[in-house]
Structure 1
Amino acid sequence: MMEAGASAPTSEPSRGPGAAWVPHFVPSSCKVRAFLDFHALPYQVVEVNPVLRAEIKFSSYRKVPILLAQEGDSLQQLNDSSVIISALKTYLVSGQPLEDIITYYPPMKAMNDQGKEVTEFCNKYWLMLDEKEAQRMYGGKEARTEEMKWRQWADDWLVHLISPNVYRTPAEALASFDYIVREGKFGAVEGAMAKYLGAAAMYLISKRLKSRHHLQDDVREDLYEAADKWVAAVGKNRPFMGGQEPNLADLAVYGVLRVMEGLEAFDDLMQHTRIQPWYLRVEKAIAEAPQ
């Protein structure tokens, strides 16, 4: 697999579809990366400038991540992180053609809470498996329902806590964009523009997000409560929500939180909640994934 913008992906038919996705420092993209890493699917990263976004001009769909998958002679574009994960997992389990699988997740136009038209995707938390495949993967309906519930929770709640926390103050916003620019390997002028304009914009946006999602005055408290809620849902009798190995909900929550690594918000989260043991277990499981 390869992670890219408009460049052509490599093809590795023995390992599944080739792939491309962007960018690195977005929670939804980190979800996809966690999935790809755990399943040992090779890929290449192409970063997207958070201000100019020129790297995705090839796509009429303007949100990230975007995944390009090469299957035989055809190139498939997958949009939306949860659709990408569900479609690829369906492919890995069932072996159905990816071209067919994509049709099970049709886009539809909807109005969000602000009255803005957005693109949503049907069935995005559902794996398109037959009864035997589903039984082999989940063992029962309860496990499947639980996985879907918490994948949606990661998208509907947890992801909205990230920006208000990493851009909580002007200093944190600048530190976050300094890290993004440094790790993203932008050019000097492009990087400076991304750092200062991006930090200023995201600091202001984070305040709007705080109000929109009715977060507490100290947004860290919402982050801590969410982390402890997740740990309670996993429980004490299993290392992961998926049992002995991470399931798609584990990977989604881990991926969303992973985007904060290296930042003050992440250090605070590890220090003030009970999530670190679970987080380190997922990290270890991904690192030890069979190649």
Structure 2
Amino acid sequence: MLMNRYLQKRMLRGEGMGDLVASKPKMHMLHTCPFCWKVRGIAELLNIDYENVQINAMKTKKELKFTDGWNKVPVWTESDGQVVVDSTPIMKHIDSTYNDGKLWKVDDIARRDKWMEWVDTKMSKATVPILYGGLFSALQTTTRVSKLEKFGFISKRLYAWAGFPIMWGIIARSRVKKDGRKPKQLWHDLLTEFTDSFNGEPYFGGTEPNMVDLAAFGYMRSISPFPQFKKLEDHVDGIEWYQRVEAFIQR
């Protein structure tokens, strides 16, 4: 297995392999969080050995108290204790630290920044409607989340059965009503707009995915554990791009 550049630098500073193994970075996360999926994608692509710390969704304030009030996942902690918060800054930090910033470097900075903001604004807000936009789909989602996340015995059942009317009735319905499109149509429109920006290339980044591809992939991938993902598979260009990114990460 090839050692990444970050580990090579640490070895040159005289740190043994035992030190590296004992002091790997950590990511505090929720399994179903779309922002965590963004970070997981870049960490997988760069083959970073890190520890996943799955927190209790009902105890984020307590378990993330070391963030000085941030209290949101993901949180990335380097082996030297450096704490980085917020998914896009974490992705940039990981790229810079472990990959010489290659995924963020582009010739057309304005295009990159415009679409990174678009992905973080449009796609992030589209995840809730697709998962919770209907009463039955909301129940499916909260039931699935209760099994995937780290809950206590009572809180798991409370979230599954009391959470879905809140997510559906208060949050998802308001977003659907504000946008005016059904969740599936919203996602199909977003995937069309995004893939049309590739200028004939297989990825937004050209011949290989870049940071924008990975961010968009993370949001879409966060829906994959749920039945609603089938609604996204109907979009031919979108699912073909998704599968290309997935294969690139897993190669």
User: TM-score band (shorter)?
Assistant: 0.7 to 0.9
User: Is residue 237 of structure 2 the alignment partner of residue 274 of structure 1?
Assistant: yes
Deviation at 1:92, TM superposition (A): 2.5
Distance in 2 separating the partners of 1:274 and 1:50? 35
Distance in 2 separating the partners of 1:58 and 1:93? 27
Q: Which residue of 2 aligns with 1:62?
A: 71
Is the CA contact (8 Å cut-off) linking 2:133 and 2:176 kept in structure 1? Answer: no
Q: 1:195 aligns with which of 156, 160, 174?
A: 160
Distance in 2 separating the partners of 1:271 and 1:12? 48
Q: 2:135 aligns with which of 170, 173, 195?
A: 170
CA RMSD for the aligned pairs? 2.5
Distance in 2 separating the partners of 1:51 and 1:164? 22
Q: Which amino acid aligns with 1:220?
A: K
Q: Which residue of 2 aligns with 1:88?
A: 94
Counterpart secondary structure, 1:78? strand
Bigger fraction of residues in helix = 2
**Post-superposition CA distance 1:70-113 (Å, at most 9, x none):** 23xxx01111101101122122244xxxxxxxxxxxxxxxxxxx
Counterpart secondary structure, 2:78? strand
Report which structure shows greater RCO (CA 8 Å, sep ≥6): 2
Is the CA contact (8 Å cut-off) linking 2:32 and 2:148 kept in structure 1? Answer: no
Distance in 2 separating the partners of 1:12 and 1:83? 26
Distance in 2 separating the partners of 1:84 and 1:149? 19
Q: 1:180 aligns with which of 136, 145, 152?
A: 145
- Equivalent pairs, count: 230
Uncovered stretches (5+) of structure 1, i.e. residues with no partner:
1-10, 95-126, 128-133
Q: Which amino acid aligns with 2:82?
A: Q
Structure 1 residues 57 and 241: alpha-carbon distance in aligned structure 2, compared to 1, 3 A threshold: same
Q: Which amino acid aligns with 1:20?
A: M
Structure 1 residues 12 and 234: alpha-carbon distance in aligned structure 2, compared to 1, 3 A threshold: farther
Counterpart secondary structure, 2:28? coil
Is the CA contact (8 Å cut-off) linking 1:48 and 1:55 kept in structure 2? Answer: yes
Distance in 2 separating the partners of 1:254 and 1:20? 19
Show the 5 A alignment for 1:121-270.
138=105, 141-142=107-108, 144-184=109-149, 186-203=151-168, 204-211=170-177, 214-236=178-200, 238-270=201-233
State the identity as a percent: 23
> If the length of structure 2 is used for normalisation, what is the TM-score?
0.81
Q: 2:84 aligns with which of 78, 100, 113?
A: 78
Q: Which residue of 2 aligns with 1:26?
A: 33
Deviation at 1:12, TM superposition (A): 6.4
Q: Which amino acid aligns with 1:281?
A: R
4+ runs deviating over 6 angstroms: none
